[in-house]
Amino acid sequence: MSLGLNQNVEINGETYHIQIEDKEKAKFLEVRVYIEGRIIFQKRHSYEHLLMDKGGGENSQSAVQEELKRLFCLTKAAIERGKIAK
């Protein structure tokens, strides 16, 4: 089951759209940040190590979901600190 997240966050008067998609077959999460429909940041984050650590099944899916949430928080913090900007 593919996981994902799409959320708008307003920071310093700008609306940023954070999108994180699970590219399940390739075993990575793709993070994109948009402003006004334009991609301003994109990064791929492998989670293959999580699958090996958890041994598959629901534990692995839960670990990927937690990694997705962690990436969202890190991305939002990077925007707030000015590390990701238009």
How far is the C-alpha of 68 from the C-alpha of 29, rounded, in Å?
7
The pTM is what? 0.86
Q: Which two tokens stand for residue 84?
A: 């990701």
Q: Which two tokens stand for residue 42?
A: 């994109």
The larger pLDDT score, comparing residue 44 to residue 50, is at 44
Amino acid at 31: V
pLDDT at position 63 is 85
- Whether pLDDT at 39 is above 80: yes
DSSP reduced 3-state for 50: helix
Domain locations in the chain as residue ranges: 4-80
How far is the C-alpha of 5 from the C-alpha of 68, rounded, in Å?
8
Where would I find the beta strands (DSSP E) of 3-79? Answer: 4-11, 14-23, 28-35, 38-46
